[in-house]
């Protein structure tokens, strides 16, 4: 068994409308699902991805209006990296982000910046045979667009504490002293650690809540068992309707999820209309009349893309 790299990354926002404007508008991702946090259905769960809503491109957010600004610390992910195809793509993004008032840090092969709430992001030129996962956007040529996740970086005091779980149970391949490659038959990603800053982390707006790794549907229970046998404390399998999930903390403190590839976001609405209306899993549909009035009004994502 091999995990197919990153499935999705879930973070926290205090401002869903601004979040839509940045991720669907500036970065050009597609809002493929407007749903609710299934553990707290009074708040949004927004999913941005490529045009088809595929695992490997899916950046998601819980909205907690008024949440304080967070800060990444030990046991937290501090940077999410997307792939792009070329230095020309970085030229494009340096200008586009700068025009939106985003401060960027350019190095050979990469461009680092933060989202409006301080979440660390990076675009990296990556040579790979993985299929590029691209969303349509009228202002962004496809050859310059984001192509899905490349990696995440977390803070840890002792990366070696996680090595056994990673290499023996989850079949991560070491790629240096504090970095691992997670590669399946079709996709791969990298997970790395950096030395924490002196200040403790604060979970809040602009921080990552968890990272999910992609599992084939028929291997999901086996991955849970492997994590359990390695000493983790995985949850039971939870049916999230669009995929199934198992959660546990790895030894350095980062919350991991193993999520299935499928059934997918087109389960309850047509592919061409993903993200246009509030989608509620069947167990929550009876709450629609209660939820719609309390959720933050959002701009139309395709209108945002067209500016």
Model pLDDT, residue 305: 54
Residue located via tokens 């749903």: 35
Model pLDDT, residue 297: 86
For residue 206, how many C-alpha atoms fall within 13 Å in the half-sphere facing its CB? 18
Model pLDDT, residue 303: 65
* Spatial distance between the Cα atoms of 66 and 76, rounded to a whole number of angstroms: 21
Model pLDDT, residue 281: 85
Contact 37, 62 (CB under 8 A): yes
Model pLDDT, residue 114: 98
Model pLDDT, residue 301: 66
What burial class does residue 265 get, using C-beta atoms within 10 Å of its C-beta: 0-12 exposed, 13-18 middle, 19+ buried? buried
In the numeric block, which tokens belong to residue 235?
């949850």
Residues of the chain with pLDDT under 70: 301-307
Largest CA distance in the chain: 52
2.30.30.30, 3.10.180.10, 3.40.630.10, 3.30.360.10: which CATH number matches 6-306? 3.10.180.10
* Spatial distance between the Cα atoms of 213 and 154, rounded to a whole number of angstroms: 15
Q: Check residue 13 and report its DSSP letter.
A: E
- Which sequence spans correspond to the domains of the chain? 6-306
Q: Omega into 263 within 30° of 0, i.e. cis? A: yes
Model pLDDT, residue 243: 96
Would the pTM of this model clear 0.85, i.e. be above it?
yes
């Amino acid at each position: 068994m091999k995990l197919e790299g990153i499935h999705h990354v879930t973070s926290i926002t205090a401002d869903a409308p601004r979040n839509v404007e940045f991720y669907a508008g500036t970065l050009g991702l597609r809002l493929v699902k407007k749903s609710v946090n299934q553990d707290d259905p009074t708040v949004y769960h927004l999913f941005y991805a490529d045009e088809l809503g595929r695992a490997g491109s899916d950046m998601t957010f819980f909205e907690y209006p008024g949440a304080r600004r967070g800060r990444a610390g030990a046991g937290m992910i501090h940077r999410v990296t997307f792939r792009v195809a070329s230095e020309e793509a970085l030229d494009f993004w340096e200008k586009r982000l700068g025009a939106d008032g985003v401060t960027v840090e350019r190095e050979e092969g990469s461009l680092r910046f933060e989202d409006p709430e301080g979440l660390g992001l990076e675009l990296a030129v990556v040579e790979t045979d993985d299929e590029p996962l691209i969303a349509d956007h009228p202002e962004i040529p496809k050859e310059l667009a984001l192509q899905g996740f490349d990696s995440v970086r977390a803070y840890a005091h002792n990366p070696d504490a996680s090595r056994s779980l990673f290499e023996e149970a989850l079949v991560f391949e070491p790629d240096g002293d504090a970095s691992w490659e997670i590669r399946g038959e079709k996709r791969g990603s990298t997970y790395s650690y950096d030395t924490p800053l002196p200040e403790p982390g604060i979970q809040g707006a602009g921080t990552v809540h968890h990272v999910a790794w992609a599992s084939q549907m028929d291997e999901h229970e086996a991955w849970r068992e492997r994590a359990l046998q390695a000493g983790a404390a995985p949850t039971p399998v939870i049916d999230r309707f669009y995929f199934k999930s198992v959660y546990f903390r790895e030894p350095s403190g980062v919350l991991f999820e193993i999520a299935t590839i499928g059934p997918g976001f087109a389960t309850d609405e047509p592919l061409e209309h993903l993200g246009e209306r509030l989608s509620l899993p069947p167990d929550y549909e009876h709450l629609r009349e209660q939820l719609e009035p309390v959720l933050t009004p959002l701009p139309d994502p395709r209108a945002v893309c067209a500016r």
